[in-house]
């Protein structure tokens, strides 16, 4: 009887973890789709949509990285956009954003 109870509890925990992972994956997909609209667009379009960047970094290839921070549920969200010499967004990354 104890083995059956432990087995059932284990199944419930695994099922719960799968649900959380599905929600995280769904939020990450939505974030990616949201940020993909900025690819190959101008820096001005990006700034119009997201506002003034919180930080601007110049990398070794003379590409600029525009960093935008946001906070939701006390979790710091960071979005980075790489802008080439033609002021076009060529890449992005997102961390802790949902």
pTM of the model: 0.70
Handedness of CA 57, 84, 53, 97 (dihedral sign): negative
Q: Is 53 helix (H, G, I), strand (E, B) or coil?
A: coil
Kindly state the DSSP code that residue 33 receives in the 8-state scheme: H
Q: How far apart are CA 58 and CA 54, in angstroms?
A: 14
Q: Give the chain's end-to-end CA distance (angstroms, integer).
A: 42
Question: pLDDT tens, 23-81?
Answer: 665 666 777 888 889 999 999 999 998 899 999 988 877 789 999 998 777 778 899 99
Q: How far apart are CA 43 and CA 48, in angstroms?
A: 9
């Amino acid at each position: 009887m104890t083995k059956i109870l432990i087995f059932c509890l284990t199944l419930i925990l695994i099922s719960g973890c799968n649900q959380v992972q599905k929600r995280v994956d769904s939020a990450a997909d939505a974030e990616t789709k949201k940020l993909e609209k900025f690819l190959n667009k101008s820096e001005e379009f990006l700034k119009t949509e997201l506002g003034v960047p919180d930080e601007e970094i110049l990398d070794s290839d003379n590409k600029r990285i525009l960093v935008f921070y946001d906070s939701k549920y006390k979790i710091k969200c960071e979005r980075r956009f790489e802008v080439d010499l033609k002021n076009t967004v060529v890449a992005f990354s997102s961390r802790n954003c949902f």
